[in-house]
Structure 1
Amino acid sequence: MTSRRSLFRPCIDLHDGHVKQIVGGTLSETDPGSLKTNFVAKETPGDFARLYKLHGLEGGHLIKLGPGNDEAAKDALRAWPGGLQIGGGITDKNALSWIECGASKVIVTSYLFPEQMFSLQRLQTISSLVGKDRLVVDISCRRREQRWMVAMNKWQDITDTEVCQGTLDLLSNYCSEFLVHAADVEGLCQGIDEDLVALLGKWATIPTTYAGGAKDISDLSTVQRLSDGRVDLTYGSALDIFGGNLVRFHDLVEWNKTALSGLCIS
């Protein structure tokens, strides 16, 4: 029996200043008409942050999907200072300012891949700037046959970096967590990428959150089994607070309570 339990990790995705759920693979700067949106919230980002705070759901990620989201992000951070991680356009120039705004950690992807090539120097720079404990590396990816390649710029551009044991070992020297969106299944509610989850459970030595395709409360049990409790799970479009009808937020809260109490979860 594993000593760690997979947890539900909440999210707030921001697009054009609103909380939205988007089909990940359709988010494109060059073809805005291709965007497919599953849900646009009436509630503010701060409302979601307060909801997560009320239930003690720490470690959630707040992602700015493109420009026009800074004020919305600050609304969420003001609602729960120190309770959310922030990603989307994070660089060495603005990382500290987001920490000062109340982010618990900053999440970085595209900055690490100038011209789609991984830069160890940039990783070292931003890690030294904010501190390893305040840095999350987003290795969200797209599947290419039997490999997963890190994708940047809203998951549209494939980098030179494969998600594999060597990559995770290198990155973990400079960050405290990984965030991994399986971009090919993000927002589709058609099931998680079980192969990727199993590999992350085998490779990751630091806290890791997987997102993409979750559609049932049982997916948490599946992630726990596949990763031996080393990987946490985010729900998006399937969740009732995001307009879905497949998963109840209340049930995820109860799962976390049980998991954190140390009781056995089947």
Structure 2
Amino acid sequence: MEIFPAVDILGGRCVQLVQGKRETAQAYGPPLSSALRWIDEGATALHIINLDGAFGNAGANAEIIRELISETDVFIQLGGGIRSEKDAAGWLDIGIDRVIIGTAATEDPDVISRLADEHGSDRIMAGVDARNGEIAIHGWEKTAGDVAIWAARFEQKGAGSLLFTNVDVEGLCKGIAVDPIRRVIGSVKIPVVVSGGVSSLSDVRSLQKLGAAGAVLGSALYSGILSLPAVIEDMV
């Protein structure tokens, strides 16, 4: 199972939010500094979210993200504000390994098919963000139906992987909610990376047992509740 330290960017800073709420932002300095720290501690992949993009300013933080691409040599998946094929293609063309398509995929699921045909399905990840078992869109402000149904639909449209984020527990550092993860993983055959609530070695082990392909570590990592080297060592 791959571990993805999160590098969430808001207003040019690396931050962590609680349940996606801007007003809860806790800042952790320059995004590149955080990225290099996690790489130094053993990370082989990064999960970068352009929070300004998710909140409606898709062009924000572009230079910072380009810097992250040029100054690191690990696998990078990027989400936040990717609302069109042009947005996705632009990031893929400059070196992002995999883009996460969320709201755009619910509004036009065929965008996944077109991007997968053009760039390869392995570079297209569909975002399945859940609130109370329904997919959450537009910066987690609206819901649009059962997450398991959407997960299967995204797979059918050609997504090479899914990012499942449980908004209900995201940023709380109180552990994962197993049932929705099991439902989503059980509804598809493609890899599912899980985000939200991962805050102990027990959570990481549970995700391995559930068959998750990866885990995103955010607030628990930044607050020191989880140690990246300890997580990596435990998985060996």
Residue aligning to 1:176: 160
Q: Of 234, 237, 240, which aligns to 2:219?
A: 237
Distance 1:81 1:214 in 2: 25
Distance 1:138 1:64 in 2: 14
- TM-score between both structures, scaled by the size of structure 1: 0.78
Residue aligning to 1:95: 88
1:159-181 Cα deviation digits (max 9, x unpaired):
2x3211x4333312411111111
Residue aligning to 1:134: 123
Q: Provide the aligned length of Structure 1 versus Structure 2.
A: 228
The residue type equivalent to 2:18 in the other structure is: V
**Radius of gyration: which is bigger?**
1
Q: 3-state SS of the aligned residue for 2:7?
A: strand
Residue aligning to 1:215: 199
1:54-110 Cα deviation digits (max 9, x unpaired):
455344321101233222212211122562011111121121221122210111111
Aligned residue runs from structure 1 range 186-201, under 5 A: 186-201=170-185
The residue type equivalent to 1:10 in the other structure is: P
- TM-score between both structures, scaled by the size of structure 2: 0.87
Residue aligning to 1:167: 150
Asked whether the 8 Å contact 1:138–1:178 carries over to 2, the reply is yes
Q: Does 1:153 align with 2:138?
A: yes
The residue type equivalent to 1:61 in the other structure is: H
Q: Of 85, 97, 100, which aligns to 1:107?
A: 100
Asked whether the 8 Å contact 1:49–1:79 carries over to 2, the reply is no
**CA RMSD of the aligned region, Å?**
2.1
Distance 1:95 1:82 in 2: 19
Distance 1:25 1:133 in 2: 27
Aligned residue runs from structure 1 range 31-46, under 5 A: 35-37=23-25, 39-42=26-29, 44-46=30-32
Residue aligning to 1:206: 190
Distance 1:86 1:72 in 2: 12
Unmatched runs of 5 consecutive residues or more in structure 1: 1-5, 28-34, 259-266
Per the TM alignment, residue 193 of structure 1 is displaced from its structure 2 partner at its CA by 1.2
Q: 3-state SS of the aligned residue for 1:103?
A: coil
- Identify, as 1 or 2, the structure richer in strand: 2
Asked whether the 8 Å contact 2:105–2:126 carries over to 1, the reply is no
Distance 1:149 1:22 in 2: 20
Per the TM alignment, residue 23 of structure 1 is displaced from its structure 2 partner at its CA by 0.8
1:210-263 Cα deviation digits (max 9, x unpaired):
1111221221112223x1x33422221111xx2x1321122123234x0xxxxx
Distance 1:82 1:175 in 2: 22
Unmatched runs of 5 consecutive residues or more in structure 2: none
Distance 1:193 1:207 in 2: 19
Asked whether the 8 Å contact 1:82–1:104 carries over to 2, the reply is no
Distance 1:82 1:9 in 2: 10
Q: 3-state SS of the aligned residue for 2:182?
A: helix
- Identify, as 1 or 2, the structure richer in helix: 2
